[in-house]
């Protein structure tokens, strides 16, 4: 593993994504990517008696699916790297209690998917573990409850609001084997342009995404055309538009690749009332580990850069009038055998 | 890569990062917000809010005509019925869907208030009856009660100062 430039890692051993597990709720099952997920639940409650339990059940299921698909017992997984949106990341810690795997808890809000993947890749690449797993989850109702209003409360959401994805995504990494490989990662820095509206997180996060993408290209001396696809995590319509505008102003040739956003892919804007699009830790996790890796397997994509974006606010910070600090972490994934 | 790079005045980290200043960005972000259709929203709020009131009026008329209530007495059972309807719609997960469409129309006092309490009670039921339901039921409705009471108190003081009979009585 090498440090490249200021904030990027180049993985010499190219850790392999041996298998992934993706589970989602019923609403995500009605979206256009339903066929890419391992399991679509019929009920938002996931058969549990509280939303919080439902969320951790998703985490456990995704982790177990990934291990099962790779044909590896859970106790062979040396480290579990995970996080979620709940206070004190309880979904991940409670699920890790069940899974009984040494656990590294991380918090990066919705950027947790790529933060955990980069951390797990670093572990495997550095020889710290033969197998490591990155998992993250989110649940629409727990996020509504913790960050906004009670789920059944009648308030109108503005068109900039985003809909938190119910689901969990897990990626099992190994030193060798067949599957897509992780070649590089860029850890983002906190970027805060003073946006305060928690109902417009796309706008708050767009500068962080652009900052990390520019840093990635600078550090690794790459350009957009080195990738078949660059996706941001959950900027959705408003943030995606702003990111494009920022790229243009920096003179960055984003048009040389396909630039998309996971938050705009998982739901059907025509049929599903999700305002600007999707958000949540699970958004970039299930879209990447389900849909995008499937496209890689089919040979439609060879090299992608996934840039998961996180809004690091709390209910207390925004009620005290603070702006929203944001972050984005990028991971480069390539198809190939190691 | 550096073609047509604009350099706005102000802080810029050398060679990398977003060169726009936070103020410029926020202006840009404001412009990127999709516009809310205030007129359509107001029309929908008017229709739904009005419809809720019409239903309330029907309920009151039923109490007066069929159950022999006096007009003055019919108010309480009418409000209770409207609360029940709102709580049922909240429990069945319909009220929030109507509200997304109707905007302020569903915030009309009785049903909106009932929804705010019922939704909070349902949401926090998993945290127990005392600290969950009891403690958090007024999470959304609490400020309405606090500021409603404070406003009523202030209005009462103003009323007392200017009411002719009370002023005379004071002398």
- Could you report the per-residue pLDDT of B22-78, keeping only the tens digit for each? 999 999 999 999 988 899 999 999 999 999 999 999 999 999 999 999 999 999 999
Q: Is the pLDDT of residue B9 over 90?
A: no
Sheet strands (E) in chain A: 2-4, 8-10, 16-24, 39-40, 79-84, 103-105, 131-138, 162-164, 167-174, 181-186, 229-232, 258-261, 277-279, 303-311, 326-334
Enter the tokens of residue B10.
Answer: 């102000």
Angle at Cα A16 formed by Cα A13 and Cα A19, nearest 5°?
Answer: 165
- Could you report the per-residue pLDDT of A188-244, keeping only the tens digit for each? 999 999 999 999 999 999 999 999 999 999 999 999 999 999 999 999 999 999 999
Q: Is the pLDDT of residue B170 over 90?
A: no
Q: Is the pLDDT of residue A25 over 60?
A: yes
Of the residues A152, A197, A246, the best mutation for testing chain B's interface (the one with the most B CB atoms within 10 Å of its CB) is: A152
Of residues A146, A149, A165, the one with CA closest to residue A157: A149
Half-sphere exposure of B102 (CA within 13 A, CB side): 21
Half-sphere exposure of A142 (CA within 13 A, CB side): 31
Name which of A156, A223, A250 is nearest B19 (Cβ-Cβ).
A250
Enter the tokens of residue B146.
Answer: 């606090």
Segment A267-296 shows an average pLDDT of: 97
At B17, the pLDDT band (50, 70, 90 cuts) reads: confident
Ramachandran bin of B107, using left for φ above 0, alpha for ψ from -120 to 50, beta for the remaining angles: alpha
What pLDDT, on the 0 to 100 scale, is given for residue A337? 52
Please provide residue B38's backbone torsions phi and psi, each rounded to the nearest 5 degrees: -65, -35
Q: Is the pLDDT of residue A146 over 50?
A: yes
Specify the pTM: 0.92
Enter the tokens of residue B166.
Answer: 């009370």
Q: Considering chain A, what is the average pLDDT of its residues?
A: 96
- Could you report the per-residue pLDDT of B88-108, keeping only the tens digit for each? 999 999 999 999 999 999 988
What pLDDT, on the 0 to 100 scale, is given for residue B162? 87
CB contact under 8 A, A152 and B112: no
> Do residues A44 and A26 make contact, with C-beta atoms less than 8 angstroms apart?
yes
Q: Is the pLDDT of residue B7 over 60?
A: no
Q: Is the pLDDT of residue B12 over 70?
A: no
Q: Does A252 touch chain B (CB under 8 A)?
A: yes
CB contact under 8 A, B96 and A253: no
DSSP of A30-76: TSTTGGGSSEE-S-TTTT-SSHHHHHHHHHHHHHHHHHHHHT--GGG
Poorest-confidence range of A160-169, A203-212, A256-265, B106-115? Answer: B106-115
Report the alpha-carbon distance of residue A324 to residue A201 in Å, rounded: 8
- Could you report the per-residue pLDDT of B109-122, keeping only the tens digit for each? 899 999 999 999 99
Residues 132-191 of chain A with CB under 8 A from chain B are 145, 149-160, 191
Of residues B63, B106, B68, B64, the one with CA closest to residue B85: B106
B17 DSSP assignment: S
From the CB of residue A12, how many other CB atoms can be counted at a distance below 10 Å? 10
Partners of B123 on chain A (C-beta within 8 Å) are 145, 150-152
Chain A with chain B: Cβ pairs closer than 8 A: 128
Q: Is the pLDDT of residue B6 over 90?
A: no
Enter the tokens of residue A52.
Answer: 């919080």
What pLDDT, on the 0 to 100 scale, is given for residue B2? 42
What burial letters (b/e) apply to A77-106, b meaning 16+ CB within 10 Å?
Answer: bbbbbbbbbbeebebbbbbbeebebebbbb
For chain B, helix (H) and strand (E) counts, in that order, are 8, 0
Partners of B28 on chain A (C-beta within 8 Å) are 242, 245
Segment A78-82 shows an average pLDDT of: 98
At A147, the pLDDT band (50, 70, 90 cuts) reads: very high
Partners of B49 on chain A (C-beta within 8 Å) are none
Q: Which residue of A has its CA nearest to B35?
A: A159
């Amino acid at each position: 593993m090498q440090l490249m430039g200021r904030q990027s890692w180049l993985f010499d051993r190219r850790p392999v994504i041996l298998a992934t597990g993706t589970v989602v709720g019923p609403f995500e099952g009605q979206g256009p990517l339903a066929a890419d997920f391992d399991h679509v639940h019929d009920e938002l409650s996931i058969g549990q008696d509280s939303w919080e339990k439902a969320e951790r059940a998703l985490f456990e299921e995704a982790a177990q699916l990934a291990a099962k698909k790779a044909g590896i017992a859970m106790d062979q997984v040396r480290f579990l790297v995970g996080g979620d949106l709940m206070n004190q990341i309880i979904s991940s810690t409670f699920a890790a209690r069940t899974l009984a795997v040494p656990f590294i808890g991380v918090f990066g809000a919705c950027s947790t998917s790529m933060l955990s993947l980069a951390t797990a890749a670093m572990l495997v690449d550095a020889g710290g573990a033969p197998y490591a797993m990155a998992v993250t989850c989110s649940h629409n109702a727990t996020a509504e409850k913790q960050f906004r209003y009670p789920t059944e409360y009648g308030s109108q959401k503005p068109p900039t609001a985003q809909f938190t994805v119910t689901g969990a995504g897990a990626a099992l990494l190994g030193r060798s084997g067949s599957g897509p490989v992780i070649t590089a990662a860029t850890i983002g820095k906190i970027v805060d342009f003073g946006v305060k509206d928690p109902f417009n997180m796309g706008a708050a996060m767009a500068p962080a995404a652009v900052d990390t993408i520019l840093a990635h290209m600078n550090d690794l001396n790459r350009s957009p055309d080195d990738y078949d696809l660059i996706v941001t995590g959950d900027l959705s319509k408003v943030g995606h538009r702003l990111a494009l505008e920022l790229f243009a102003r920096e003179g960055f040739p984003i048009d040389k690749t396909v630039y998309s956003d996971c938050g705009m892919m998982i739901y059907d804007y025509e049929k599903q009332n999700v305002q600007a699009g999707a958000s949540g830790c699970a958004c970039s996790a299930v879209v990447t580990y389900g849909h995008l890796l499937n496209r890689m397997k089919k040979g439609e994509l060879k090299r992608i850069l996934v840039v998961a974006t996180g809004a690091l606010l709390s209910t207390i910070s925004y009620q005290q009038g603070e702006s929203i600090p944001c972050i984005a972490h990028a991971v480069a994934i390539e198809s190939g055998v190691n | 890569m550096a073609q047509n790079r604009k350099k706005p005045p102000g802080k810029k980290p050398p060679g990398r990062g977003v060169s726009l200043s936070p103020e410029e960005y926020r202006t840009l972000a404001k412009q990127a917000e999709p516009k809310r259709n205030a007129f359509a929203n107001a029309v929908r709020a008017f229709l739904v809010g009005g419809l809720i009131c019409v239903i309330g009026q029907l309920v009151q008329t039923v109490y007066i005509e069929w159950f022999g209530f006096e007009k003055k007495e019919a108010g309480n059972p009418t409000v209770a019925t409207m609360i029940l309807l709102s709580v049922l719609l909240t429990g069945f997960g319909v009220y929030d869907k109507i509200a997304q469409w109707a905007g302020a129309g569903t915030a009309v006092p009785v049903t909106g208030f009932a929804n705010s309490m019922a939704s909070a009670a349902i949401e926090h039921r998993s945290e127990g009856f005392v600290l969950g339901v009891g403690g958090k039921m007024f999470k959304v409705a609490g400020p309405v009660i606090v500021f409603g009471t404070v406003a009523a108190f202030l209005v009462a003081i103003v009323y007392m100062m200017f009411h002719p009979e009370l002023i005379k009585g004071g002398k």
